[in-house]
């Protein structure tokens, strides 16, 4: 088939194993089943795969990479590199520089995840429900189990027997791997909110040494990919409406946590389609080429 792209017409072919014979690098974003089937076949043909699904994230031999945080993990890859979950990537962009400065021990977080996290059906459903509500009709859910317009759903991904969702466990397991903290304690609640794009995360973190706000600001300001927006007296803090389609993640509301020993509370916002997905994958590919690891 042919597909119009800009001023060009591209020929789209089925992704068969032999299609990877002449490729040095491929970015996969077609779901876990496709990745599990084709990524090993591509790797066997010498093609390095950057995979955006969850298929290989927790595989012991597969690096799970956020380039600003653990680029050295790329140096020992098996031709498959995993891209982390969107919420994990955004949260760790704020936590990694604080970990470097103070030594992270545990964190609690609540995510506020945009509807585009489920794909194109999410924004379409939110828009349709808002229109229906304005006309006095009852919004009907389809992409979500309940109406999302003017509502919050404490339900992202499937529930496990222990009451957590898979999305919530990704925050714990992937953070441990990326930060190389196998005993890191994490408790997460993921919430779907009526926002079109960009995830927001409220974090309460405890550290090994006593943190303070000036040093935390300095650590965040000096970290690539972070934009510090922290002047509450001027109503200056990051919001998803301002971080949609924006490369850096915004961090604000940094303050000493009154409930944790050596704790900080903070707020981070990032575009889950960019830093939480496509941008991070492209950054991985660029770093592989820069380091001559392809």
Among the listed residues 47, 77, 86, 188, the single catalytic one is 86
146 is catalytic: no
199 is catalytic: yes
The answer to whether 61 and 235 have CB atoms below 8 angstroms apart is no
Among the listed residues 47, 99, 188, 199, the single catalytic one is 199
Active-site residue list: 86, 199
């Amino acid at each position: 088939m042919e597909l119009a792209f800009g001023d060009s017409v591209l020929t789209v072919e089925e992704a068969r194993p032999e299609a990877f014979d002449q490729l040095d690098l491929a970015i996969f974003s077609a779901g876990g089943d496709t990745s599990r089937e084709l990524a090993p076949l591509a790797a066997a043909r010498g093609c390095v795969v950057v995979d955006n699904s969850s298929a290989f994230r927790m595989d012991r031999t597969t690096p799970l990479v956020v380039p600003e945080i653990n680029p050295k993990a790329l140096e020992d890859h098996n031709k498959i590199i995993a891209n982390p979950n969107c919420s994990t990537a955004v949260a760790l962009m704020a936590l990694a520089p604080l970990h470097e400065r103070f030594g992270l021990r545990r964190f609690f977080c609540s995510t506020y995840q945009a509807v585009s996290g489920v794909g194109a059906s999410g924004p379409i459903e939110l828009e349709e429900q808002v229109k229906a509500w304005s006309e006095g009709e009852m919004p009907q859910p389809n992409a979500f189990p309940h109406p999302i317009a003017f509502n919050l759903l404490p339900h992202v991904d499937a529930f496990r027997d222990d009451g957590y969702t898979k999305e919530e466990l990704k925050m714990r397991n992937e953070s441990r791997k990326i930060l190389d903290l196998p005993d890191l304690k994490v408790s997460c609640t993921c919430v779907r909110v009526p926002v079109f794009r960009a995830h927001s995360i409220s974090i309460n973190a405890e550290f090994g040494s006593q943190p303070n706000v000036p040093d935390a600001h300095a650590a965040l300001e000096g970290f690539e990919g972070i934009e510090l927006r922290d002047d509450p007296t001027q109503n200056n803090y990051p919001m998803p409406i301002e971080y949609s389609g924006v490369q850096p993640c915004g961090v604000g509301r940094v303050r000493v946590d009154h409930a944790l020993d050596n704790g900080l509370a903070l707020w981070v916002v990032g575009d889950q389609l960019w830093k939480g997905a496509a941008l991070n994958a492209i950054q991985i590919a660029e770093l592989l080429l820069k380091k001559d690891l392809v």
